[in-house]
Amino acid sequence: MSNSTPMSLVNIFVEPKSVFDTLKENKKWAVLGLLLIIAVTSVSSMLFFGGMSPEWLIEQQLMAAGDMSTSEREAAKQGMEMMADYMGIMAAVSSAVMLPAITLIFTVYYLVIGSSAANTKPDFKFGDWFVFTIWTQMPGLINTLGFSALFFTAASGDLPLSLINYASLNQLVLGYLPGDALYQWAESINLFSLWSIVIAAIGFNRCCKMPMVKAFIFSALPLVVIFLGWFVLFT
């Protein structure tokens, strides 16, 4: 009897152990999950930027750019004016390219860890680790759906660009302003990224038989290295 089921797309959020226990049987649903993430992210980007007036969008971009000299600000404004009408399309294309690229990068990392640090090495090929990686990224779909709900229910299309990072450490706790040294750092740390770490840890535990502490360490390591290095550079 096949264990392949579309419920894997739900179970990854509520019962991730079952998804990793049947990872090989549910490859097609993982691929569908990746396509959903790409589609929802691309469409929401187009609608978000498409709903803004060019003047508002340029103002928001200049605000996010932080302190600049008068000449730098004018040059930046001219470039933004040229791209304002295409920002939605550019964001959608960027999402469609970057999401698979990021998935591949993490696939290589998980493959290396699974091959070198597993307590019991799984019989996984590259494609299996690619599926593993997709499942760990599924919280990104919830993140984008939440973002979409926020701008769809807003009274105006002229919304702050920071809405994209509504679940960031900065907006939930720290409150840095554009121009602050750690603004982009704090905006980039997202609750849904932490959820992805938890799912990856569960995946290592089920597929590689790692103790949960060890699994959490290897799951969190890439983001810890990135954000710790970033923090050191800007403080």
**Residue 12, domain member (yes or no):** no
Nearest to residue 36, comparing CAs of 3, 12, 20, 4?
12
**Residue 149, domain member (yes or no):** yes
Using the predicted structure, report yes or no on whether residue 3 has a pLDDT greater than 70: no
pLDDT confidence tier of residue 1, bands split at 50, 70 and 90:
very low
pLDDT tens-digit map of 154-183: 888 888 888 999 999 999 999 888 878 888
pLDDT tens-digit map of 103-132: 999 999 999 999 998 888 998 999 999 999
* Distances 25 to 1, 29, 128, 196, 204 between C-alpha atoms, Å: 11, 9, 10, 21, 17
Per the structure, how many domains does the chain have? 1
- Which has more confidence, 52 or 44? 44
Using the predicted structure, report yes or no on whether residue 51 has a pLDDT greater than 80: yes
**Residue 1, domain member (yes or no):** no
> What does the alpha-carbon distance between residue 117 and residue 202 come to, in Å, rounded to a whole number?
15
> What does the alpha-carbon distance between residue 184 and residue 193 come to, in Å, rounded to a whole number?
15
pLDDT tens-digit map of 220-232: 999 999 999 988 8
**Residue 80, domain member (yes or no):** yes
Query: Domain containing 130: what range?
Result: 19-233
> What does the alpha-carbon distance between residue 30 and residue 35 come to, in Å, rounded to a whole number?
9
> What does the alpha-carbon distance between residue 93 and residue 207 come to, in Å, rounded to a whole number?
34
Question: What is residue 66's predicted lDDT score, i.e. its pLDDT?
Answer: 67
**Residue 10, domain member (yes or no):** no
* SS3 (DSSP) at 168: strand
Global pTM value:
0.90
**Residue 176, domain member (yes or no):** yes
Nearest to residue 77, comparing CAs of 159, 69, 172?
69
Other beta carbons less than 10 A from residue 52's beta carbon: 21
pLDDT confidence tier of residue 24, bands split at 50, 70 and 90:
very high
